[in-house]
Amino acid sequence: MLSRIGVHTSVDVLFPPSVLRDALSDVEPTVEIVETAADLDECDALVTFSYDESFLDADLDWIHSIQSGVDRFPFDRLERRGIALTSSTGIHGDSVGETVVGYMLQFARRLHVHRDNERRREWQFPPWDAPFTLPGESLCVVGLGTLGQGIARRADALGVDVVGVKRTPTPVEHISRVYTPGELQEAIADVRFVAVAVPLTDRTEGSIGADEFGVMREDAYLLNVSRGGVVDDSALLDALRDDELAGAALDVFETEPLPDRSEFWERENVIVTPHAAAANREYYRRVGALVRENVRRLDANETLANHVV
């Protein structure tokens, strides 16, 4: 039975800690905002965005990550300390799905260029053969979990033919063909858009690099909403400079925030968003529902939802 849940101030990246604390006011354990290592002393559970070494020294039973990606947590050491880690997968399908079809629509309808021109008060009709529409275009979604399925459902509704890649090649709704990771290059070779939605793991790190850009079509767009380390940023810049790709929409980068000197900022055919694909004013409510469910499961001695280690 938990007695005190801390809401770490790092959640502030996505919502004010107080709104989650207030949303959880009905759960049995006390819920308090914590900032320093000393504040952790009284807590047996922590809801957090960031990871800090001090979490290992506190007497925590459970840490909940408000992100779906948990690559920043040291799984082995958490396991050794007997601290359960849960993630927030399952809550980002609509926000990230809408962001990705937004990227596709921007590229197809040239909205990113019109917005750039507007800033300069330039009335410029696009080249006749630059704009296109989405019906009949094709998309490969790499990673078919919550994000991937959210993207696929929306792209399918816009008339795009969607294929995908995942570890277990079982059929997925809205996906006309599911490939295995070993077939990645075949899956991305003949599509207009490639959306990357896999977790950052030893297996996926750097898995979208020069070889993959080499097999992609020259009129293809890369859309990365996973983690920066999955895509080789410098190989991507090379491919963009050499016109091996038509463009890229990037929400995540090897270095975040994206450094001022990065060439990604300057390129007309690159859309940069600040790791905000999942941003949503309802975010705290969805995290609150996951936390509430796991408080119930802990009480009932059931397996935790979204259990990582």
- Active-site residue set: 227, 256, 275
Q: Smallest distance from the beta carbon of 115 to ligand NDP, in angstroms?
A: 21
Q: Which is nearer to ligand NDP, 108 or 277 (CB)?
A: 277
Binder among 72, 77, 80, 167 for ligand NDP (CB under 6 A) = 167
Q: Smallest distance from the beta carbon of 110 to ligand NDP, in angstroms?
A: 24
Residues 297 and 304 sit within 8 Å (Cβ to Cβ): yes
**Hey, which bits of 133-203 come out as E strands?**
138-142, 161-165, 177-179, 193-196
Q: Smallest distance from the beta carbon of 266 to ligand NDP, in angstroms?
A: 22
Say whether the peptide bond before residue 257 is cis (omega within 30 degrees of 0).
yes
227 near ligand NDP (CB under 6 A)? yes
Q: Which is nearer to ligand NDP, 11 or 31 (CB)?
A: 11
Q: Which is nearer to ligand NDP, 250 or 295 (CB)?
A: 250
**170: CB partners within 8 A, 6+ apart:** 178
**Hey, which bits of the chain come out as E strands?**
4-8, 30-34, 45-48, 62-65, 84-86, 138-142, 161-165, 177-179, 193-196, 221-224, 247-250, 270-272
Q: Which is nearer to ligand NDP, 34 or 104 (CB)?
A: 104
Residue pointed to by tokens 């009709």: 125
Binder among 48, 65, 138, 146 for ligand NDP (CB under 6 A) = 146
Q: Smallest distance from the beta carbon of 164 to ligand NDP, in angstroms?
A: 8
64 near ligand NDP (CB under 6 A)? no
Binder among 275, 284, 290, 295 for ligand NDP (CB under 6 A) = 275
Binder among 5, 84, 134, 144 for ligand NDP (CB under 6 A) = 144
147 near ligand NDP (CB under 6 A)? yes
Q: Which is nearer to ligand NDP, 2 or 222 (CB)?
A: 222
Q: Which of 96, 143, 10 is nearest to 278 (CA)?
A: 96
How would you class 257 by CB atoms within 10 Å of its CB: exposed for 0-12, middle for 13-18, buried for 19 or more? exposed
How far apart, in whole angstroms, are the C-alpha atoms of residue 53 and residue 255? Answer: 21
Residue pointed to by tokens 């957090």: 48
How far apart, in whole angstroms, are the C-alpha atoms of residue 223 and residue 219? Answer: 13
Which residue lies nearest ligand NDP, judged by its C-beta? Answer: 145
Contact set for ligand NDP, span 276-295 (CB under 6 A): 277-278
252 near ligand NDP (CB under 6 A)? yes
Q: Give whole-number Cα distances, 177 to 113, 143, 190, in Å.
A: 33, 13, 13
174 near ligand NDP (CB under 6 A)? no
225 near ligand NDP (CB under 6 A)? yes
Residue pointed to by tokens 């920066």: 228
34 near ligand NDP (CB under 6 A)? no
200 near ligand NDP (CB under 6 A)? yes
**Interface ranges with ligand NDP (CB under 6 A):** 68-69, 89, 92, 96, 142-148, 165-168, 181, 197-200, 203-204, 225-227, 251-252, 275, 277-278
